[in-house]
Amino acid sequence: MNHTFKARLRNETLIGPIISLPCADVADLLSRVGFDYLWIDLEHSPMDVADAQILIQGAGGRCPCIIRVPEVSEAWIKKALDTGCDGIVIPQIRSAAEARAAVAWCQYPPQGRRGAAATRAHGFGLNFSEYVAAANQELAIILQVEHIDAVNQIDEILQTPGVASLFVGPFDLSGSMGLLGQIAHEEVQAAIGRVIAAGKAAGMPLGLYVVDGESAASAIARGFQMIALGTDTSYLLAAARAALRAAKG
C-alpha cells in the first residue's frame, strides 16, 4: 500500500500547521504532536530554501513536509524540490497555462522539465536513480486558487495532469475581488463554492487555510480534505496571551 503524502491526500483528511519561523526546533516539536504534515512557508516569511531544508531535517522523517514557494517560478520550484520535501505548494495560479507550466517544472522528463542534480532529495547522489524513478509519481503538486481569474478558469485548471490538490487561498481571493479580508462576503463565498463544486465533480482533493479547530471542522464538512490549521506564530501568541491572562486573573 502506498503511504506517501500524495496517496494519503487522495484518501484521507490531512491537517497540518504553517511554519514561518526559521527554527529547526519548531519543526521538531510540531512533528511530534500528531499533525499529518508540516507546511513550510517561503512566501510569507523571511525564510529561504536553506532554512526550509533545515526544518525538514528538524522534522526527522516523523511527519511529511511540504514547501510553499514564493511565486510561480522554475528556479524556486527546482530549489525547493531539491530539499527532499514531500510536496510543493505553488501560489497565485491564475490560468490553465500557468498550471501546466508549474507542473512541468515539478516533473522530470519526459513528463516535465525539472532539472536534475545530486542534492538532499537524492541522498546527495547515493539514491539518485531511485529518487528520479519515483519522484513524478510520489511528489504532491498543490496549486493555489487564490485569484478570481483562477476561479473563472477552474474547469480548465482541473484538467491539468499531475496536480494532487487545489488549495483555496481565501484572503488573496477576496483581495482579487476588491473585498480584501471580507472572507464571509457572499461573493467570496460564492467563488469558493464554485471551486468546491468543480473540485468535487473532478474528484480533486481540495485544501483550505483556517485559523482554529471549529473552522477546520466546518471546512471538512464542506468537503475540504487538506486543512492548513493555524501557524506557528499564532500558536505561540495564543498560548502566551492565555497564560498572561490567567496569571493576571
The CA distances from residue 225 to 60, 90, 127, 172, in Å, are: 25, 18, 32, 20
Contact 150, 94 (CB under 8 A): yes
**What integer is the mean pLDDT of 137-147?**
98
pLDDT higher than threshold 60 for residue 226: yes
Helix (H) or strand (E) holding 246: helix 232-248
Task: Quote the Cα angle for 151-154-155, to 5°.
Answer: 150
Burial of 174 (0-12, 13-18, 19+ CB in 10 A): buried
Output the average pLDDT for the chain. 97
Q: Summarize pLDDT for 6-49 with one digit per residue, the tens.
A: 999 999 999 999 999 999 999 999 999 999 999 999 999 999 99
Strands 14-19 and 140-145: unpaired
Q: Summarize pLDDT for 162-185 with one digit per residue, the tens.
A: 999 999 999 999 999 999 999 999
For residue 2, the model assigns a pLDDT of 58
Contact 158, 168 (CB under 8 A): no
Q: What size, in residues, is the chain?
A: 249
Phi/psi of residue 214, nearest 5 degrees: -65, -40
Catalytic positions are 44
Q: Summarize pLDDT for 198-207 with one digit per residue, the tens.
A: 999 999 999 9
For residue 1, the model assigns a pLDDT of 40
Contact 9, 140 (CB under 8 A): yes
**How far does Cα 195 stand from its chain's mean position?**
17
Task: Quote the Cα angle for 164-97-10, to 5°.
Answer: 10
Share of residues in the chain with pLDDT > 90 (%): 98
Q: Summarize pLDDT for 110-141 with one digit per residue, the tens.
A: 999 999 999 999 999 999 999 999 999 999 99
Describe the crossing of helices 74-81 and 49-59 by its angle, rounded to 10 degrees: 30
CA distance 56 to 145: 25
Q: Summarize pLDDT for 237-249 with one digit per residue, the tens.
A: 999 999 999 999 8
Secondary structure (DSSP) of 181-195: T-TTSHHHHHHHHHH
Q: Summarize pLDDT for 50-92 with one digit per residue, the tens.
A: 999 999 999 999 999 999 999 999 999 999 999 999 999 999 9
Q: Is the pTM of this model over 0.75?
A: yes
The CA distances from residue 99 to 12, 163, 215, in Å, are: 24, 9, 28
For residue 3, the model assigns a pLDDT of 79
Helix (H) or strand (E) holding 98: helix 96-106
